Each structure stands twice: as structure tokens, then as C-alpha cells.
Amino acid sequence: MILTVTLNPAVDFTVYGKAFKVNETNRGRLTDPDPGGKGNNVARIARLLGTDVIATGFLGGFTGDFIESGLKNEGIKTDFLHIDSLCRITVAYIDEATSAETKIVPFGPEITGSEKEKFTGHYQSLLAGNSFSSVILSGSVPGSLPDDYYGALIDIARKFGVRVILDTSGAALASGMRHTPFLIKPNREEAKELVGGGEDSQMYRFFEDTAAKGTIVALTLGQQGAVLFTKNGIYQTRPQAVKAVNPVGAGDAFVGGFASALDRFGEKDETPFSWAAAAGTAAAASKGLLFSTDMFYRIKENLIVETIKGIV
């Protein structure tokens, strides 16, 4: 079983249309709304792949009710802390011709000091009362919480002997890394920000050092595949001959695939990595976040994981 933590959940809308034009009305086809937020996306993918999940975090308002009911309908157990503020609504506009993505993402609700303390206790109770193979901390931290709040959650999970997968960006990622999570999953843009720019070779050396210190790094590169940095070696996946339809949530699907395989098979470098890459590819090739398991296994069977002999 895994635990997903979404501090900043959202109702996600995706619209498909022609090329997005700034300062104009952009019309398109609206898909059904999703119970979103990065951690909730991870929960949905892991559950799709057969892993038991408890989803937690903050929920509030009618949007929070929608998120919770949607997760429950997919067989995910929910145990959120309910707050007074409304959960946000996000919109992704996808260019049907190029799959280019334009997103509108509000900052999220204000979390009071009392709500923060209540959630810390709630989180600790969940860890004490269940046997989790991993905890997934995903997404942005609401502005009213400190950048290092994920770090505090990592430290609590460590006391219970539970691995932590951290998928965030900016200051929250930099702060969280100081607490040595089991794995981080930056994309190229997030990685460049973390390293401070520079060439790919500089970024690779930074993540090789990070892995040597105890944190696995899964660097996702979109249609160029992914690279996994571990103490035992560096691995990469080849790009798949699958047309990208919707990049929204592909990174979350990657984490969901990794967590699901980790729960099922344990710490085998190539197995969780191959599951992650297959799930991310399948999500990108689907109109929505969820994909058919037949597609997933078909992609996984054709997936090639190679060992990188040295830093490029």
C-alpha cells in the first residue's frame, strides 16, 4: 500500500482546440473534469495498476467534495483533512495539432497555522496506523506553508521506516532534498532550475552526486525518455514510437508507475523505472490521465532500459 499526499489539490479541466492565441477567446472541446493535484494523479495511476492507495492532503469546499468523490469512485481510499478554504480549479489548453500545452493554475487555498498543525498530526497517525511501502509527496506547497514543510513530512516518514518519493519544484524541492528523500523526480525545466542552469553534463554530474548521497533521481525528458541515477549505476530509456496526445499528467503517471512497481517488486532499479516510463508514455498517448492497462503492458514489453557507462 502507498500513501499519496496532495497539499494543493485541484479540479482539473482540459480543453482541446486550435493554436492558443493570447488576448483572444480560445474555444475548444472540454473533457470531463478530473479529481486532480499531482499526488491525486499519482494515486489514480497506482490504483489503475493494481496498488492499494490511501490519498491524503487538504480538501475544502464543493471542489474538494468533487475531488474526494472522484477518487473514491476509482477505488482509492481517502483520508483528507478538511479545511475552510476552497480547493482550486485548473485549466489546461491543448493544441490539437502540436500537443502544445497552455495552463492556468491558481496558487491555491490559504492554510491556517491550526490546519497545518492538525495535518502534521493527521499524517503521523496515518503512518502509525498503516503499513506503507512508500509515501509520495507531490505538487506545490500552498504559499501559506513554509517551503520546508515537505522536509518535515520526510523526517516524520523516516521515523516510521517509510520511503519518500518527492515530486515538486523550486524552493520546495531544494529544501526537501536536504532531508534525503528516497527519490526525486524533476523534469528538465525543474532540474535546470535546481542546478542553476548550465550544460546537461553539469546537471548529470549533480544528480550522480545526489544519488551517491542516498537519493535516487528520476529525470524525465518528455519525448526524449528518462534517466535514472542510482548508487548502482545510471540508466536511461529510449524514446517510444508512441504519438503524444496529452502531456498533462504524464510526469505524475511516471511517479504512479514507479510507486506501484516499488510496492509490488521492491527496490529493483530497472523494474520500477520501466514501469514508470511505460506509465508516463501511456498517459501522454491518452486523451486523459488514465489509460488502458493493455496499452501500458504493450509499451512496457517494448521498453528498453540501457545502462549509461559514463557522463555525457
Is residue 225 left, alpha or beta, with left meaning phi > 0 and alpha meaning psi from -120 to 50?
left
In the chain, % helix, strand, coil (3-state, to 5) comes to 40, 25, 35
CA angle 176, 180, 182 (to 5 degrees): 105
Q: Are 72 and 64 in contact (CB under 8 A)?
A: no
For every residue of 41-95, which 3-state class applies, written as one string?
HHHHHHHHCCCCEEEEEEECHHHHHHHHHHHHHCCCEECCEECCCCCEEEEEEEE
pLDDT digits (tens, 9 = 90+) for 164-221: 999 999 999 999 999 999 999 999 999 999 998 878 888 999 999 999 999 999 999 9
Between strands 28-30 and 53-59, the pairing is unpaired
Residue 310 has what pLDDT?
A: 52
Cβ-count burial 69-108 (b if 16+ within 10 Å, e if not): ebbeeeebbbbbbebebebbbbbbbbbeeebeeeeeeeeb
Phi, psi of 190 (to 5 degrees): -65, -35
Residue 124 has what pLDDT?
A: 98
Report d(CA 121, CA 62) in Å as an integer. 25
Among the listed residues 167, 252, 263, 294, the single catalytic one is: 252
Residues of the chain with pLDDT under 50: 311-312
Active-site residue 252, yes or no?
yes
DSSP symbols for 193-235:
HHHTS--HHHHHHHHHHHHHTT-EEEEE-GGG-EEEEETTEEE
- Domain boundary assignment for the chain: 2-308
Q: Are 123 and 153 in contact (CB under 8 A)?
A: yes
Helix, strand, or coil here: 10? strand
DSSP symbols for 146-202:
-TTHHHHHHHHHHHTT-EEEEE--HHHHHHHHTT--SEE--BHHHHHHHHTS--HHH
Domain 2-308 has CATH 3.40.1190.20: yes
Residue 223 has what pLDDT?
A: 81
Residue 224 has what pLDDT?
A: 86
Residue 150 has what pLDDT?
A: 98
Residue 263: partners with Cβ closer than 8 Å, 6 or more residues away: 1, 2, 46, 51, 133, 134
Phi, psi of 189 (to 5 degrees): -65, -45
Between strands 34-36 and 10-17, the pairing is antiparallel
